[in-house]
Amino acid sequence: MRVMIDSNTFLSGIVFDGMERLLLRTLVHSDHVLLLAKFSVSEVERVLRRKFPSMIQDYEDVLQSLDAEILPLPDKS
């Protein structure tokens, strides 16, 4: 199954220990494919660097473990 989550869910899964983290862990240990919009990835990185700089390595580890499919930004048209 292909699963798409928004930036808030992704960020919460990295920073907080709750249902969102459980979702990310489930995705890591499954055959599901995580879809992330490029905009969401950029937004999560920006928020982490500003508010949770100590979590950057965790974020990079999670992103690599998920082997997520990053969807490109839409055309300006």
Rounded-to-integer distance, Cα 77 and Cα 60, Å: 32
Supply the pLDDT for residue 48: 96
Q: What percent of the chain has pLDDT over 90?
A: 68
- Report the mean per-residue pLDDT for the chain: 91
Do strands 33-37 and 2-4 pair parallel, antiparallel, or not at all (unpaired)? parallel
60 three-state secondary structure: helix
Q: What is the pLDDT of residues 34-66, one digit of tens each?
A: 999 999 999 999 999 999 999 999 888 888 888
Q: Which residues pair with 36 in a beta bridge?
A: 70
- The dihedral region occupied by 49, where left means phi > 0, alpha psi between -120 and 50, and beta the remainder, is alpha
